[in-house]
Amino acid sequence: MTVVPDDIKLCCAAAYSTAAARFLLGESFHPGGAALTARLGAELQVGPGATVVDVASGPGTSALELARECGCDVVGVDLSADSVAAATEAAEAAGYGDRVRFTVGDAEALPFDDASMDGALCECALCTFPDKGTAAAEIARVLRPGARLALSDMTADTERLPLELKSLHAWVACIADARPLAELAALIGRAGFTVERVERHDEALERLLERVDARLSLAGVVTESATAVAAGRDVGSAARDAVAAGTLGYGVVVARRV
């Protein structure tokens, strides 16, 4: 597949700002939902007065969760202006408008000063960035020394992914350019971090894929785009097979900025 980085980025940003994404995925756009976000928040070891960046903040659910659980301020950054607007509205509606804000920006060129952040969260998004090394280096740049990155992401044994999981749709669905967990940890280590923890959470991905299939099946009954729903279910079915085969999964990397 020939990949044009800017097209991929815009495609991902557009796909995750739709009502369809919310319907299929729920409030959090990653396996493990708010419970896994709370776990990652605890790993950041931050509290009131600290500022955490949520890279690719999507609907803003995780940023709000961090502010509630850790008491920190959060700034979310996402490429989609629509997602940033919706997340800002959600933070204001929840009464967190003074501590949780969102801004439009590219993870590969973060709009923040060097060493300006006390922690970084990045959930189910590195897999969609065309230049993962640059994004990891950008996260390292904006963190103060000693601050932590808590990252969760899709993982894949790239060589063994079936053809239907290597399409543009599969890239947008966080699959086609996912990397093995060990490669993710190594990439983060090269960007200026000491890796402290690596965990597998494949069962969380299984649960999310089941939810998405149930929602697509429901959508298939009422929609006029039956072909698109069937195509989505085919990709989902191949993804579930890949999880069962150990080719696809979900993982966590926690790392400390050197």
Ligand X SMILES: C[S@@+](CC[C@H](N)C(=O)[O-])C[C@H]1O[C@@H](n2cnc3c(N)ncnc32)[C@H](O)[C@@H]1O
Positions that interact with ligand X (CB under 6 A): 9, 12-13, 16, 28-30, 56-59, 61-62, 78-80, 83, 106-108, 123-125, 128-129, 174
Nearer to ligand X, 96 or 159 (CB): 96
Nearer to ligand X, 57 or 222 (CB): 57
Provide, rounded to whole angstroms, the least separation between the CB of residue 33 and ligand X. 9
Provide, rounded to whole angstroms, the least separation between the CB of residue 192 and ligand X. 19
Provide, rounded to whole angstroms, the least separation between the CB of residue 194 and ligand X. 24
Provide, rounded to whole angstroms, the least separation between the CB of residue 221 and ligand X. 26
Provide, rounded to whole angstroms, the least separation between the CB of residue 64 and ligand X. 11
Provide, rounded to whole angstroms, the least separation between the CB of residue 129 and ligand X. 5
How many angstroms separate the CA atoms of 40 and 122, rounded?
10
How many angstroms separate the CA atoms of 130 and 135, rounded?
9
* Cα 196 from chain centroid (whole Å): 20
Strand order in the sheet with 143-156: 100-104, 73-78, 51-55, 117-123, 143-156, 248-257, 193-200
Nearer to ligand X, 7 or 226 (CB): 7
How many angstroms separate the CA atoms of 20 and 59, rounded?
13
Nearer to ligand X, 148 or 227 (CB): 148
**Which residue has the CB atom at the shortest distance from ligand X?**
58
Nearer to ligand X, 193 or 250 (CB): 250
The CA–CA distances, whole Å, from 55 to 93, 101, 138 equal 22, 12, 10
User: Which of these, 91, 93, 90, 95, lies nearest to 74 by C-alpha position?
Assistant: 91
Nearer to ligand X, 23 or 226 (CB): 23
